[in-house]
Structure 1
Amino acid sequence: MQKRGYVRIGLSNEPPWTVIDADGQVGGAGPDLTHAVFQRMGVSELQGVLSTFGGLIPGLLAGRSDAISSGLFIQPGRCQAVAFSEPDLCDREAFLMKKDMPLALKTYRDLATDSSLQVGVPAGGTEEREALAAGVPASRLVPVPDGPSGMIMLLAGRIQVYSLPASSAQHLVDLWRGQKFSLVTVEDAPVMCAGTAFSPNAVDLRDAYDHVLAKLKADGTYDRILRAHGFDPSLARGHTREEFCRGKESL
């Protein structure tokens, strides 16, 4: 990788975790942090390999990318498939609703008790697992392919609640300033952390990445990158890869 001078990163466009602009330029908290780590490792160029969220791990295992840096939460099932770095991007869950909706929703359990609600969740995301565990039936969960689609579905009344990571929710509220949305942090959902994912055959590369990531956390580079994208850098410091790999089984 150092010899060829670039690293291929699997990405799914999910601002502010990952941002791909109209010219194909890659940014966002995940790619910017991953780029900084690999630069310290002597790899100067980052090449984005765009994928659907569900295609990220298959693409990595097929050799189409060298790593995934797209807000992939560390979960037990995924830990069996890929080699995660230590946590790098952590977030809480949130609900988005139209402000004119007379809803007092603070927990996934609240969603379960109101049978009239259709709940949008990122396709293949952690939110579906949390909602099902709280008793929301699968028939009321609506897969949402991306953030803008979720906002359109809210405005059209196809869903009444959109559940997604808080940083993603805030990014969408900022983009749709002309509309009135409420953002509520979910009270019964744990902090979730993502890590950069590597092939299970690339544990040495993962370990080298972790070593440099720890240095960036110590010298302030990590904090600067995360704050620039609206993330709280203190969240990752309270969690470990081992903790999440031992956690509840993912869907």
Structure 2
Amino acid sequence: MVGLQADDNGSRSTRRPGIRRRTLLSGSAALVTAGAVGASSGCSRVATADTGDGGHLLDQLRANGTVRLGIAGEQPYGYIGTDGKITGSAPAIAERIFGNLGVEKVEPFPTEFGSLIFGLNSLQFDVVAAGMYINPERCEQVLFADPEYQMKDAFIVPKGNPKNLRTYADIARAKARMATGIGYAEIDYAKEAGVKQIATLPDQLAGLLAVEQGRVDVFVGTAVTVRNVVKQTGSKKVEATEEVTPYMDGKPVIDVGAFAFRTPERNLRDAFNRELHKLKRSGELLEIMRPFGFTKDQMTNLTAEEKCRS
């Protein structure tokens, strides 16, 4: 059983520099195995230099027939299923878009969420396909496509929600023991609301179990992730709350997630965006994401440029 890890000062904010957010529900062994396989493909890396012409990676991917996706092992965004195959909303979108761009195969490269940007920029894989939140600090390190979804938070609480925890402020007022994932943006939202007891756990399944066993009063994560884990486990001891809007500096926050590319590869990002916008206009994007728990409420027309400025 995974133990609780108290959060000290290492939690990364959506405002402070660094990398954060999320982890794994199932397929841990497959994740490790696939990671080792992905690491062995390093001999096929192609150096990327900012020549000012927008990059040529798309041409190289078409020639190779394969694009390597950096995933972080978190449902529903990108993970290795119990059958050992890559799945999740981001890989499903990648299969459609890169297929339309003439790249036949997507290959997973599982890693920790905090290693995704480093792995991308060190050429371990070609694109981050992990539902990564866009914020100004990350925009200085990578080139984001426009977001495919927007997201609020939700809580896992004991059945009946005995402490009536429906906002971060409720957690603070109740002096409740809160847990969330390692690297999750929710750590900063909780601190902003005055929450004092914050522990970190490796994933949402560990969070659900911690609430079931009374080791914490609430586990906080993204709304789709929380709903999915409660539904998939069929737990009779916990429930998911309605969606929760976090606040920073007194302003409501709605996070958005997107694919990320190396900064020189503007041509690839722009081609990806064109196909993404086609899927949005036709309604196909929602149909691709719906099996992973997304709804019309999670669809967004925000742009990466807007979020990079916010």
Same fold (TM over 0.5): yes
Alpha-carbon distance between aligned partners in 1 of 2:153 and 2:195, rounded to the nearest angstrom: 16
- How many Å apart are 1:156 and its aligned residue? 2.3
In structure 1, give the amino acid aligned to 2:182.
A
Identify the residue that residue 246 of structure 1 maps to in structure 2: 309
Distance (whole Å) between structure 1 residues aligned to residue 272 and residue 296 of structure 2: 18
Match 2:134 to one of 53, 68, 74: 74
State the shift of 1:101 in Å. Answer: 4.9
- Alignment pair present for 1:119 and 2:182: no
Alpha-carbon shift at residue 243 of structure 1 (Å):
2.4
How many Å apart are 1:200 and its aligned residue?
1.3
CA distance in 1, matches of 2:297, 2:230: 23
Q: Report the Cα offset of residue 133 of structure 1.
A: 1.7
Q: How far 1:24 moved relative to its partner?
A: 2.3
The 1:96/1:152 distance shift into structure 2, 3 A limit, reads: same
* Matched residue, 1:38: 98
How many residue pairs get aligned? The number is: 244
Change (3 A) 1:234 1:174: closer
Q: What is residue 68 of structure 2 aligned with on the other side?
A: 8
Deviates more, 1:182-191 or 1:19-28: 182-191
Length-normalised TM-score, structure 1: 0.91
Report runs of 4+ in structure 1 exceeding 4 Å deviation.
Answer: none
Percentage of identical aligned residues: 30
Separation in 2 of the partners of 1:75 and 1:133? 17
What is residue 97 of structure 1 aligned with on the other side?
Answer: 157
Q: Under a length normalisation based on structure 2, what TM-score does the superposition of the two structures give?
A: 0.75
1:183 equivalent in structure 2: 240
Instruction: For residues 84-129 of structure 1, give each alpha carbon's deviation from its aligned partner in whole angstroms, at most 9, with x where no partner exists.
Output: 11011222210111115511111111112222x2211121111112
Q: Indicate the structure (1 or 2) with the bigger Cα radius of gyration.
A: 2
Q: Tell me how large the CA RMSD over aligned residues is.
A: 1.6
Q: Structure 1 residue 60: deviation in Å?
A: 0.8
Aligned partner of residue 237 in structure 1, secondary structure:
coil
Q: Which runs of 5+ in 1 are unaligned?
A: none
Q: In terms of mean alpha carbon deviation, does 83-92 or 226-235 score higher?
A: 226-235
Contact 2:186 2:220 in 1 (8 A): yes
Aligned AA (2:207): G
* Residue pair 2:212, 2:238 contacting (<8 A) in 1 also: no
Does the 8 Å CA contact 1:30/1:70 hold for their aligned counterparts? yes
